[in-house]
Amino acid sequence: MNRPSASSSSRWPLPADDEWSTPFAELLLEQLDLRPGLTILDIACGHGIPAFYLAEQVGPTGSVLGIDASRGQVANARTIQRGELPWLRYECVDMRALPASLPTFQRITGNLSVMFLRPHRFEAMRGLIEHLEPGGQVVLTFPSLGTFDSIWQRIDHEMSRHGLTRERERLAAYVAERPSAAEARGWLEQLQMERIDVIERPLEVASGSGQRFLQHPLLRGGFLDDAYECFEDDRLADTVMTSVAADLESMTPLTARRCALSGWKRGLA
Protein backbone atom coordinates (compact mmCIF):
# COMPACT_ATOMS: atom_id res chain seq x y z
CA MET A 1 0.00 0.00 0.00
CA ASN A 2 1.34 3.38 -1.00
CA ARG A 3 1.15 5.84 1.90
CA PRO A 4 2.79 9.10 0.86
CA SER A 5 3.94 11.47 3.56
CA ALA A 6 2.09 14.77 3.75
CA SER A 7 5.37 16.64 4.06
CA SER A 8 6.38 20.20 3.35
CA SER A 9 7.74 19.06 -0.05
CA SER A 10 4.13 19.04 -1.24
CA ARG A 11 2.76 22.26 -2.72
CA TRP A 12 -0.43 21.53 -0.78
CA PRO A 13 0.79 20.05 2.53
CA LEU A 14 -1.43 19.52 5.53
CA PRO A 15 -1.36 22.77 7.56
CA ALA A 16 1.25 22.51 10.31
CA ASP A 17 -0.61 25.06 12.43
CA ASP A 18 -3.92 23.14 12.51
CA GLU A 19 -3.73 21.22 15.78
CA TRP A 20 -7.02 19.41 15.24
CA SER A 21 -7.78 18.59 11.59
CA THR A 22 -4.19 17.83 10.58
CA PRO A 23 -3.50 15.06 13.17
CA PHE A 24 -6.72 13.32 12.10
CA ALA A 25 -5.84 13.78 8.41
CA GLU A 26 -2.40 12.25 9.03
CA LEU A 27 -4.12 9.19 10.48
CA LEU A 28 -6.40 9.03 7.44
CA LEU A 29 -3.43 9.11 5.05
CA GLU A 30 -1.74 6.28 6.94
CA GLN A 31 -4.71 4.04 6.13
CA LEU A 32 -5.46 5.25 2.60
CA ASP A 33 -4.16 3.45 -0.48
CA LEU A 34 -3.41 6.56 -2.51
CA ARG A 35 -1.92 6.78 -5.98
CA PRO A 36 -2.15 8.81 -9.22
CA GLY A 37 -5.29 8.46 -11.32
CA LEU A 38 -7.77 7.61 -8.56
CA THR A 39 -11.26 9.09 -8.32
CA ILE A 40 -12.00 10.24 -4.76
CA LEU A 41 -15.08 11.51 -2.96
CA ASP A 42 -14.08 13.51 0.12
CA ILE A 43 -17.05 13.99 2.47
CA ALA A 44 -17.35 16.71 5.13
CA CYS A 45 -14.46 18.35 3.28
CA GLY A 46 -14.62 21.62 5.21
CA HIS A 47 -12.07 24.07 3.86
CA GLY A 48 -9.94 21.38 2.25
CA ILE A 49 -8.03 19.25 4.79
CA PRO A 50 -6.97 16.92 3.22
CA ALA A 51 -8.75 17.39 -0.13
CA PHE A 52 -6.04 19.65 -1.57
CA TYR A 53 -3.34 17.15 -0.66
CA LEU A 54 -5.38 14.25 -2.10
CA ALA A 55 -5.88 16.12 -5.37
CA GLU A 56 -2.18 16.82 -5.67
CA GLN A 57 -1.41 13.14 -5.20
CA VAL A 58 -3.95 11.74 -7.70
CA GLY A 59 -2.86 14.30 -10.29
CA PRO A 60 -4.67 15.41 -13.45
CA THR A 61 -5.41 11.82 -14.48
CA GLY A 62 -7.55 11.45 -11.35
CA SER A 63 -10.25 13.55 -9.73
CA VAL A 64 -11.39 14.63 -6.28
CA LEU A 65 -14.87 15.85 -5.38
CA GLY A 66 -15.08 17.51 -1.98
CA ILE A 67 -18.59 17.86 -0.54
CA ASP A 68 -19.83 19.66 2.55
CA ALA A 69 -23.27 20.66 3.82
CA SER A 70 -21.96 24.15 4.66
CA ARG A 71 -22.04 26.61 1.78
CA GLY A 72 -19.62 28.79 3.70
CA GLN A 73 -17.05 26.01 3.96
CA VAL A 74 -17.39 25.20 0.27
CA ALA A 75 -16.95 28.88 -0.64
CA ASN A 76 -13.89 29.10 1.60
CA ALA A 77 -12.32 26.03 -0.01
CA ARG A 78 -12.88 27.45 -3.49
CA THR A 79 -11.26 30.71 -2.42
CA ILE A 80 -8.20 28.86 -1.14
CA GLN A 81 -8.06 26.83 -4.36
CA ARG A 82 -7.77 29.95 -6.54
CA GLY A 83 -8.47 27.96 -9.69
CA GLU A 84 -5.55 25.58 -9.17
CA LEU A 85 -5.84 21.78 -9.26
CA PRO A 86 -8.71 21.89 -11.81
CA TRP A 87 -9.43 18.19 -11.27
CA LEU A 88 -10.53 19.10 -7.72
CA ARG A 89 -14.13 20.34 -7.33
CA TYR A 90 -16.11 21.43 -4.31
CA GLU A 91 -19.89 21.15 -4.06
CA CYS A 92 -22.48 21.80 -1.35
CA VAL A 93 -24.01 18.35 -0.81
CA ASP A 94 -25.46 16.60 2.24
CA MET A 95 -23.40 13.42 2.59
CA ARG A 96 -26.30 11.77 4.45
CA ALA A 97 -28.41 11.89 1.28
CA LEU A 98 -26.18 11.63 -1.75
CA PRO A 99 -28.04 12.26 -5.03
CA ALA A 100 -28.62 9.24 -7.24
CA SER A 101 -26.93 11.11 -10.09
CA LEU A 102 -23.62 11.10 -8.22
CA PRO A 103 -21.21 8.59 -9.81
CA THR A 104 -19.22 5.92 -8.00
CA PHE A 105 -15.68 6.52 -6.78
CA GLN A 106 -12.59 4.39 -6.23
CA ARG A 107 -11.99 5.93 -2.82
CA ILE A 108 -14.28 7.65 -0.31
CA THR A 109 -12.55 9.64 2.41
CA GLY A 110 -13.80 11.82 5.21
CA ASN A 111 -11.67 13.58 7.79
CA LEU A 112 -13.53 14.23 11.07
CA SER A 113 -16.64 13.06 9.24
CA VAL A 114 -18.49 10.30 11.11
CA MET A 115 -20.11 12.57 13.71
CA PHE A 116 -21.85 14.45 10.86
CA LEU A 117 -23.56 11.26 9.66
CA ARG A 118 -26.04 11.43 12.56
CA PRO A 119 -28.81 10.86 13.40
CA HIS A 120 -28.94 7.67 11.29
CA ARG A 121 -25.27 6.84 10.91
CA PHE A 122 -25.56 3.29 9.60
CA GLU A 123 -28.05 4.27 6.91
CA ALA A 124 -25.81 7.18 5.92
CA MET A 125 -22.81 4.87 5.78
CA ARG A 126 -24.73 2.46 3.57
CA GLY A 127 -25.52 5.34 1.23
CA LEU A 128 -21.83 6.18 0.98
CA ILE A 129 -20.84 2.60 0.21
CA GLU A 130 -23.41 2.53 -2.60
CA HIS A 131 -21.24 5.19 -4.29
CA LEU A 132 -18.01 3.22 -3.81
CA GLU A 133 -16.81 1.15 -6.75
CA PRO A 134 -16.33 -2.60 -6.24
CA GLY A 135 -12.77 -3.05 -5.02
CA GLY A 136 -12.72 0.52 -3.70
CA GLN A 137 -11.67 1.73 -0.24
CA VAL A 138 -13.38 3.93 2.31
CA VAL A 139 -11.36 5.70 5.04
CA LEU A 140 -13.06 7.92 7.62
CA THR A 141 -11.68 9.55 10.75
CA PHE A 142 -13.51 10.81 13.82
CA PRO A 143 -13.07 11.54 17.54
CA SER A 144 -14.42 8.34 19.08
CA LEU A 145 -16.08 7.43 22.37
CA GLY A 146 -13.80 8.45 25.23
CA THR A 147 -12.78 11.77 23.69
CA PHE A 148 -12.34 14.38 26.42
CA ASP A 149 -13.83 12.06 29.05
CA SER A 150 -12.10 14.04 31.79
CA ILE A 151 -14.06 17.15 30.77
CA TRP A 152 -17.43 15.40 30.72
CA GLN A 153 -16.76 13.79 34.09
CA ARG A 154 -15.85 17.13 35.64
CA ILE A 155 -18.96 18.82 34.17
CA ASP A 156 -21.14 15.97 35.38
CA HIS A 157 -19.66 16.30 38.88
CA GLU A 158 -20.42 20.02 38.94
CA MET A 159 -23.95 19.45 37.65
CA SER A 160 -24.47 16.88 40.40
CA ARG A 161 -23.22 19.33 43.02
CA HIS A 162 -25.93 21.75 41.88
CA GLY A 163 -28.61 19.03 41.80
CA LEU A 164 -29.13 19.35 38.04
CA THR A 165 -30.79 16.04 37.15
CA ARG A 166 -32.13 16.92 33.68
CA GLU A 167 -28.89 18.58 32.65
CA ARG A 168 -26.93 15.49 33.71
CA GLU A 169 -29.25 13.27 31.66
CA ARG A 170 -28.75 15.44 28.59
CA LEU A 171 -24.99 15.41 29.04
CA ALA A 172 -24.95 11.62 29.44
CA ALA A 173 -27.02 11.21 26.28
CA TYR A 174 -24.65 13.45 24.34
CA VAL A 175 -21.56 11.58 25.49
CA ALA A 176 -23.11 8.16 24.81
CA GLU A 177 -24.08 9.24 21.29
CA ARG A 178 -20.43 9.50 20.25
CA PRO A 179 -19.57 6.39 18.19
CA SER A 180 -17.03 3.90 19.47
CA ALA A 181 -14.40 2.14 17.38
CA ALA A 182 -16.26 -1.15 17.86
CA GLU A 183 -19.54 0.37 16.68
CA ALA A 184 -17.87 1.79 13.57
CA ARG A 185 -16.31 -1.57 12.77
CA GLY A 186 -19.77 -3.12 13.10
CA TRP A 187 -21.16 -0.85 10.40
CA LEU A 188 -18.62 -2.04 7.84
CA GLU A 189 -19.10 -5.67 8.89
CA GLN A 190 -22.86 -5.37 8.34
CA LEU A 191 -22.15 -3.90 4.92
CA GLN A 192 -19.95 -6.93 4.14
CA MET A 193 -16.84 -4.87 3.59
CA GLU A 194 -13.46 -6.60 3.46
CA ARG A 195 -10.05 -5.93 5.03
CA ILE A 196 -11.66 -3.83 7.74
CA ASP A 197 -9.25 -1.96 9.99
CA VAL A 198 -9.99 0.38 12.88
CA ILE A 199 -7.21 2.13 14.75
CA GLU A 200 -7.29 4.59 17.65
CA ARG A 201 -4.61 6.95 18.88
CA PRO A 202 -4.65 9.60 21.61
CA LEU A 203 -4.34 13.30 20.89
CA GLU A 204 -3.63 15.65 23.77
CA VAL A 205 -4.91 19.22 23.58
CA ALA A 206 -3.25 22.01 25.57
CA SER A 207 -5.29 24.73 27.23
CA GLY A 208 -5.07 27.28 29.99
CA SER A 209 -7.71 27.50 32.71
CA GLY A 210 -10.60 29.91 33.13
CA GLN A 211 -11.60 31.87 30.05
CA ARG A 212 -8.70 30.37 28.08
CA PHE A 213 -10.42 27.00 28.55
CA LEU A 214 -13.96 28.25 27.91
CA GLN A 215 -12.91 30.17 24.78
CA HIS A 216 -10.42 27.60 23.45
CA PRO A 217 -10.98 27.63 19.65
CA LEU A 218 -11.12 23.85 19.47
CA LEU A 219 -13.01 23.05 22.65
CA ARG A 220 -15.59 25.83 22.34
CA GLY A 221 -16.04 25.21 18.66
CA GLY A 222 -18.25 22.20 19.25
CA PHE A 223 -17.40 20.21 22.37
CA LEU A 224 -18.10 22.79 25.05
CA ASP A 225 -20.96 24.23 23.01
CA ASP A 226 -22.67 20.85 23.33
CA ALA A 227 -22.24 21.02 27.11
CA TYR A 228 -23.78 24.50 27.23
CA GLU A 229 -26.77 23.22 25.25
CA CYS A 230 -27.57 20.82 28.11
CA PHE A 231 -28.75 23.80 30.19
CA GLU A 232 -32.05 25.64 30.00
CA ASP A 233 -30.81 28.53 32.18
CA ASP A 234 -27.92 30.46 30.61
CA ARG A 235 -26.88 31.99 33.92
CA LEU A 236 -26.73 28.58 35.56
CA ALA A 237 -24.69 27.29 32.60
CA ASP A 238 -22.19 30.10 33.10
CA THR A 239 -21.95 29.35 36.84
CA VAL A 240 -21.31 25.64 36.31
CA MET A 241 -18.91 26.03 33.39
CA THR A 242 -16.93 28.77 35.13
CA SER A 243 -16.36 26.44 38.08
CA VAL A 244 -15.32 23.66 35.73
CA ALA A 245 -12.91 25.92 33.86
CA ALA A 246 -11.19 26.94 37.09
CA ASP A 247 -10.35 23.31 37.84
CA LEU A 248 -8.19 22.50 34.80
CA GLU A 249 -5.79 20.41 36.89
CA SER A 250 -8.42 17.73 37.54
CA MET A 251 -9.11 17.42 33.79
CA THR A 252 -5.51 17.31 32.57
CA PRO A 253 -4.55 15.81 30.21
CA LEU A 254 -7.30 16.83 27.82
CA THR A 255 -7.23 13.80 25.55
CA ALA A 256 -9.14 13.11 22.34
CA ARG A 257 -9.29 9.67 20.76
CA ARG A 258 -8.40 9.78 17.08
CA CYS A 259 -10.10 6.92 15.26
CA ALA A 260 -9.59 5.86 11.64
CA LEU A 261 -12.02 3.42 10.02
CA SER A 262 -10.98 1.65 6.82
CA GLY A 263 -12.59 -1.01 4.66
CA TRP A 264 -12.71 -2.33 1.10
CA LYS A 265 -15.81 -3.06 -0.98
CA ARG A 266 -15.97 -6.53 -2.41
CA GLY A 267 -14.80 -6.68 -5.99
CA LEU A 268 -16.69 -8.03 -8.96
CA ALA A 269 -16.97 -11.80 -9.05
DSSP string, 187-243: HHHHTT-EEEEEEEEEEEE---STHHHHT-TTIIIIIHHHHHTT-S-HHHHHHHHHH
CB 216 within 8 A of CB 241: no
Partnered with residue 90 across adjacent β-strands are 66
Helix-, strand-, coil-residue percentages of the chain, each rounded to 5: 40, 20, 40
pLDDT in tens, 144-192: 999 999 999 999 999 999 999 999 999 999 998 889 999 999 999 999 9
Return d(Cα 208, Cα 183) in angstroms, integer.
33
Q: 254's torsion region: left (phi>0), alpha (psi -120 to 50) or beta?
A: beta
Return d(Cα 3, Cα 201) in angstroms, integer.
18
CB 265 within 8 A of CB 125: no
Domain ranges of the chain: 21-144+179-204+256-264, 149-174+210-246
Strand 88-92, strand 105-110: pairing: unpaired
State the pLDDT confidence band at 9, using cuts at 50, 70 and 90.
low
Q: 153's torsion region: left (phi>0), alpha (psi -120 to 50) or beta?
A: alpha
pLDDT in tens, 116-143: 888 889 999 999 999 999 999 999 999 9
In this predicted structure, what is the pLDDT of residue 269?
53
Q: What is the CATH number of domain 21-144+179-204+256-264?
A: 3.40.50.150
